Structure 1
Amino acid sequence: MTEALTPLALPDADHAEEWVEGRTRDGLAAARELAGRLRSEPPADALAALRTWDEITLQLGNVDAVGSLWANVHPLEPVRTSCERAQVEVDRLATELRQDRRLYDVFAALDPAGLDPAATRLLDKTLEDFRRAGVDRDDATRARLTEINERLTTLAQDFSRTIRDDVRTVRVTPEQLDGMPADWLADHPADDEGLVTVTTDYPDSVPVRMFAHDPGVRREVTVAFLNRGWPQSEPLLTEMFALRHELANLVGHPDWASYDAAVKMIGTGPAIPEFIDRITAAAEDPMRRDLEVLLERFRRDAPDATAIDQADASHYGELVRKEQLDVDAQLVRTYFDAAKVRQGLLDVTGRLFGLHWEPVADTPTWHEEVTAYDVRDADGGAPFARIYLDLHPREGKYKHAAQFTLADGVAGRQLSEGALVCNFSRGLMEHDHVVTLFHEFGHLVHHVLAGRAEWTRFSGVATEWDFVEAPSQMLEEWAWDADILRSFATNADGEPIPADLVARMRAADDFGKGYHARTQMFYAAMSYWFHTERPADLTARMRELQAAYSPFPWIEDTHMFASFGHLGGYSSAYYTYMWSLVIAKDLFSAFDPEDLFAPEVARRYRDLVLAPGGSRDAADLVADFLGRPYTFDAYAAWLAR
């Protein structure tokens, strides 16, 4: 019998820094030792060489995963700093290995005959990784590439830290918060000076922009939110864009977007603006239709208005949904208690994917609010993964919502472990946040289901990066089904959310999807053109792109790009969210909307799309599931209706 794998034994706070440093030291040493063995005694057998390289990948990934997660969430600053150092060290070694000509020659000389398709794919990807790192360039070029990669790691950390730590506040009188939900007001008492502090963290800023009647307060909070990271971020981004461009040129690409797109579904850099313009055109009529309604409602309060901007759009969008579509978000949120939502999420995904989430008590985590669960197949067996849920805001924590890897799962070697990092209310949640929770949990499900891989390189969410959002976007649909919501969405009296209210919510959610798509294309265009043009004045170029793509005009003296964290991780590829949504709508078309738990289609989706991880091209996984290549049709029909 195979011995059961055990999850990471995380340290308590007193030993966290020492643990990170030891894990980093041991992981890097193991990777170096294995690489030295490959150089000095290269195996003639292709499979043996790939096994050694995969172990190197595993060791580096283990160091990087803990570093990436804890640098963003650990409450102790010295631990976060140690994790940032670990990331720099692992990136340095990874670059060194991928630029090592002797190692490259080992793999280039291997005979792929006899390898199975997965191993053949791994060999191809490994050789591609070497070439993309500049292994075939001269010594001076490789040295410069090393410098660039190290500096890019530091810049990305500085950019992320700047956003994470820049929490701005607005202080207002209680009277200025007329319209806010009662539970929100109870959590925000006035201080000794009679003022209430509103932060730019999501649980504060989102409700205030939606519900506060005072336009001055909404505008002040919006401006503070849009200026997070300014002005510190601009020089970081300017240098980041320049270095990425130089790196791409040094390895033979005309610009960073082309270098980055070469390993994505989209294939080429110029295809990105073509896709952006296709979505822009498809969203034009829906955008204008909904903007006209929004402006008409805004003009009742501001008769001379010719446009509406972000300071008022959320509030008046909420008023349209309440007054014309009969959906009151303050009533809706009374059905979404955070604790019930969390359990409902686990119940729904457990049933859908045939999983059992088993709470783990008395195990160390990085914060007392973090909860851990072992993951088993519903029909039994040993745990094959562990997940952590870190769902509420705190000082020094990552400000958005994301899934982080803690360990890649590899069959017979280590368990898959991942963390969900969010910033939701501890009390009542907006339904939008419930949808976001389902979305991010979709990444986590993908990570653990693809965590029994044979090869580290293909474990977890290891598909092309413009596909990774599709499974998470599709899981959002389960947060909109009336029967599903009624299983956990109950008010204080225990009454489930009415089905007719959910139907109205869905209709109300359709309002604004055209201008939402155009907003996304503004972000995607900024992501692409900032990297290809590298403008000297980022604010000026942002204003031009906002005028070209966004439904909402620029607010004077704001600098949204300074806190646009996706410029760090997604770089020039923010288009991937919409690219993935096109695929997600097509994937969902295979499910029966009258029975979203239908076991046959759910099992096929789990086994054909999620479980393979990166072992095959994403387009092939989708085609296997749908029985045909994916198309634009389902998305276009949804956007137009």
Structure 2
Amino acid sequence: MTQTAPAPSLDFSINAEQVAQITEEIIAAELAVNDFVASLKPEEQTYENIVIRLTKFENELSGKAQLVSSLSQISPDAAVREASVAAETKYDQFSIDQSMRHDIYSVITSYISKTDLDSLEAEDARLLRKMELRFRRNGLHLSEEQRNEFKELRKRLSEVCIEFNKNWARESSTVKFTREELEGLDDDFLDGLKTEEENGVTKYVLTMKYPDVRPVLKLCKNENTRKVHSKAYESRNKENIPLLEEAIKLRRQAAKVIKRYKSHADYVLEDKMAKTVDAVNKFLEDLANRLYAPGLKEIEELKELKKTEKAERGEKFDGTFNAWDSSYYQRILLENEYSVDQEHIKRFFSLETTIQSFNVYLEMLDIYEKVLGLKFVKVPADKAVVWHPDVQLFECWDAVEDKSFSGYMYLDLFPRENKYPHAACFPLQPSYIAENGERVAPIAAMVANFTKPTADKPSLLKHDEVVTLFHELGHVMHHLCSRTKYARFHGTSVEGDFVEAPSQMLENWCYDPKSLKYLTSHFETGEPISDEIIDRIVKAKNVDAAMLNLRQLFFGIYDMTIHTSDDENIDTTKIYNDLREKISLVAAPEGSFGQAAFGHLMGGYDAGYYGYMWSKVFSSDMFFSKFEKNTLSPEVGYSYRKNILERGSSKDGMDLLKAFLGREPSSDAFMREDIGISN
């Protein structure tokens, strides 16, 4: 008998009034449960009255809470976006109040003190231990005066972060150039831009969105155009500077109130894999030192390319290498030394081909199907409730074990006004086991900003955009494959410095010859990409790896610097620009303030950006020790799904790694394959 997928549990057609109403319902339901638990007398403090009740509302309401907060980033309706921001602010304030309730803390700690946690199921015991840790981290062991101070700090911090991200998502500045000033950009790109007439001259309008910024910085031969666009890009959201600096101050104050922590970074790292500031700083500084000399060498090589090109164009070379030069001359290096022409390569990565295969399934997802044992089915547009006509909906089914429904995936891939400006996975509905014993299926969305197709040409992806697509879909797979009892342990709820490892590992398929052959098809001829071009892509993988990794290290070091600082009058712009030049070896555009649009700092990665590099160590170890010999191995893929993806955060990340690898993790593969330095 053919199985039918259940209807999605979230309704994206809700209006602004419904957003507010759902938020009120969530708050009322959560308050009722918390009041009940807080009122329990010692003899009433049982597993059923505490754990079952608390997790029931958390399981059942977490998806709705994600829905009302996510709409601020994805809804095309201004009223819904505003209602979503208001709802998120209101619920965050309520959540902070509830997380600071000493009466609930007293009941939980009383129950834990008389319970043998080792006698419980592993996930139940972990849940209680995590509850106790969260209470301690909220300062509930402190005096009432200190608790109230901590609560007010967190409330204000929530408001500041929401305002920062609202500004960031809605940034709409533009720059304008003539056709001559955009020398090097092809007609396909220019034809997709808006134009305006100024004094009889046609000017092309470019935004600060990736589909506009990246082509200009990579392809435009006019250095001044690159300079102007680069400076504008790195000088957006000036209004966010005071918000970031207030957030840093609030975080520092909150950590000091609890007294157990020297800094906000100490507070954050307590429940991460790294554990300590010293461990993170040692990791970052060691890599920065090892990459310093190779980075300087790579910059000198690019400088020579710039000198040569300037001479060919009859232009003066001033001996400098600037922020707006990196992407441009790295592209020339790839074309000259490795014959890697991204503009040619993108013709083989039509999004309609990469995403839509001949059998209506995703070709890219076919790889996930083969490796992870899944099956994807597109929901017809007339039957899919989505938040915008561009959005597609897919069913995910298990293809190995019980053939059951695994979850829903939404794809929102093209830019539009007031939409989330980058690429990310939105975890909309976590999975959990309901009271009746049935599994509630997860829902996740991939949101991106790839170039939109035109009437006569599909969306064509550069290879690095294909890598982004694989990466974010990796997060989606983490959600769809997760099998945990409780919503709070679902999917990417793992430690912050492990969360990127599964998706980073999947990026390696973008450099696997077999996978590249499978993915590609010229949008006009249907021919797959040639073995020669594939060989060039693979060989060019680590070109300028030192420079690229130094840039990532700069972000991580900046993050740790501001979140360990005791400076009450911190100047985030000066620190940002000084460290950028020192660590990445390339200065920021003069007068710019890139930290104002560094969304990670206000979106959950504060004192955690190092995690991208930290988790890369683990992702490389997993891939090169398990998948390298056969990247499409269903046996290895199934082991990965069972040991890593299915577990969510029901176990520590290190335990998951060791279970999959069969040993302690090692940095050897990372240093060898991603940095190019042999141990």
TM-score, normalisation: structure 2:
0.90
SS in structure 2 opposite 1:387? strand
8 Å CA contact retained: 1:63, 1:90: no
Change (3 A) 1:11 1:169: closer
2:296 is aligned with 1:288: yes
Moved more, 418-427 or 379-388: 379-388
What corresponds to 1:374 in structure 2?
395
Cα shift at 1:346 = 1.7
Q: Pick from 553, 556, 563 the counterpart of residue 524 of structure 1.
A: 556
Q: Cα RMSD between the aligned structures?
A: 1.9
Query: Distance in 1 between the 2:289 and 2:47 partners?
Result: 49
Moved more, 73-82 or 207-216: 73-82
2:521 is aligned with 1:490: yes
What corresponds to 1:37 in structure 2?
36
Q: Pick from 408, 418, 421 the counterpart of residue 399 of structure 1.
A: 421
Cα shift at 1:64 = 3.2
Cα deviation per residue 1:9-44 (whole Å; 9 max; x = unaligned)?
4143xx422332222122221111111221223643
Q: Pick from 473, 483, 486 the counterpart of residue 504 of structure 2.
A: 473
Alignment of 1:83-482 (within 5 A): 83-110=84-111, 111-113=115-117, 114-188=119-193, 190-192=195-197, 193-230=201-238, 232-252=239-259, 253-302=261-310, 304-342=317-355, 343-361=362-380, 362-379=383-400, 381-411=403-433, 412=438, 414-426=440-452, 427-450=459-482, 452-482=483-513
Q: Percent identity?
A: 29
Unmatched 5+ residue regions in structure 1?
none
Cα shift at 1:583 = 0.8
Cα shift at 1:3 = 12
The amino acid that maps onto 1:454 is K
What corresponds to 2:358 in structure 1?
none
Query: Distance in 2 between the 1:522 and 1:498 partners?
Result: 37
SS in structure 2 opposite 1:381? coil
What corresponds to 2:670 in structure 1?
635
The amino acid that maps onto 1:420 is M
Cα shift at 1:543 = 2.0
Query: Distance in 1 between the 2:541 and 2:173 partners?
Result: 30
Query: Distance in 2 between the 1:121 and 1:256 partners?
Result: 25
Moved more, 601-610 or 479-488: 479-488
Cα shift at 1:547 = 2.5
Unmatched 5+ residue regions in structure 2?
311-315, 356-361, 453-458
Query: Distance in 2 between the 1:546 and 1:524 partners?
Result: 11
Query: Distance in 1 between the 2:655 and 2:138 partners?
Result: 27
8 Å CA contact retained: 1:290, 1:515: yes
SS in structure 1 opposite 2:377? strand
SS in structure 2 opposite 1:532? coil
8 Å CA contact retained: 2:491, 2:648: yes
Alignment of 1:590-605 (within 5 A): 590-605=625-640
SS in structure 2 opposite 1:195? strand
Alignment of 1:67-78 (within 5 A): 67-78=68-79
The amino acid that maps onto 2:538 is R
8 Å CA contact retained: 1:63, 1:86: no
The number of aligned residues is 636
Cα shift at 1:268 = 1.3
The amino acid that maps onto 1:234 is I
The amino acid that maps onto 1:483 is K
The amino acid that maps onto 2:354 is V
The amino acid that maps onto 1:524 is G
The amino acid that maps onto 2:590 is E
SS in structure 2 opposite 1:615? coil
What corresponds to 2:595 in structure 1?
561
Cα shift at 1:399 = 0.7
SS in structure 1 opposite 2:403? strand
Change (3 A) 1:63 1:9: closer
Divergent runs of 4+, >4 A = 2-6, 302-305
Cα shift at 1:182 = 3.3
2:614 is aligned with 1:583: no
Change (3 A) 1:456 1:281: same
Cα deviation per residue 1:420-468 (whole Å; 9 max; x = unaligned)?
1111112111110110110011111011211x31112211111111000
Cα shift at 1:220 = 1.0
SS in structure 2 opposite 1:198? strand
Cα shift at 1:486 = 1.9
The amino acid that maps onto 1:408 is P
8 Å CA contact retained: 2:266, 2:276: yes
The amino acid that maps onto 1:254 is K
SS in structure 2 opposite 1:573? coil
The amino acid that maps onto 1:369 is D
Cα shift at 1:595 = 2.1
Query: Distance in 1 between the 2:20 and 2:222 partners?
Result: 50
The amino acid that maps onto 1:502 is I
Cα shift at 1:575 = 0.5
What corresponds to 1:540 in structure 2?
574
The amino acid that maps onto 1:82 is A
What corresponds to 2:538 in structure 1?
506
Query: Distance in 2 between the 1:604 and 1:17 partners?
Result: 44
8 Å CA contact retained: 1:590, 1:601: no
8 Å CA contact retained: 1:202, 1:423: yes
SS in structure 2 opposite 1:241? helix
Moved more, 28-37 or 255-264: 28-37
Query: Distance in 1 between the 2:618 and 2:294 partners?
Result: 20
8 Å CA contact retained: 2:40, 2:107: no
Moved more, 59-68 or 343-352: 59-68
Change (3 A) 1:269 1:63: farther
The amino acid that maps onto 2:376 is W
Moved more, 311-320 or 271-280: 271-280
Query: Distance in 1 between the 2:439 and 2:150 partners?
Result: 33
Q: Pick from 546, 552, 556 the counterpart of residue 586 of structure 2.
A: 552
8 Å CA contact retained: 2:490, 2:649: yes
Cα deviation per residue 1:30-65 (whole Å; 9 max; x = unaligned)?
111111221223643335521212123335523431
8 Å CA contact retained: 1:490, 1:497: yes
SS in structure 2 opposite 1:386? strand
8 Å CA contact retained: 1:28, 1:59: no
Cα deviation per residue 1:243-295 (whole Å; 9 max; x = unaligned)?
01111111221110000000100101232222210111232243233222212
SS in structure 2 opposite 1:420? strand
Query: Distance in 2 between the 1:446 and 1:256 partners?
Result: 29
Query: Distance in 1 between the 2:622 and 2:178 partners?
Result: 49
The amino acid that maps onto 1:120 is A
Q: Pick from 619, 638, 643 the counterpart of residue 608 of structure 1.
A: 643
Moved more, 56-65 or 626-635: 56-65
Cα shift at 1:162 = 1.4
2:33 is aligned with 1:27: no
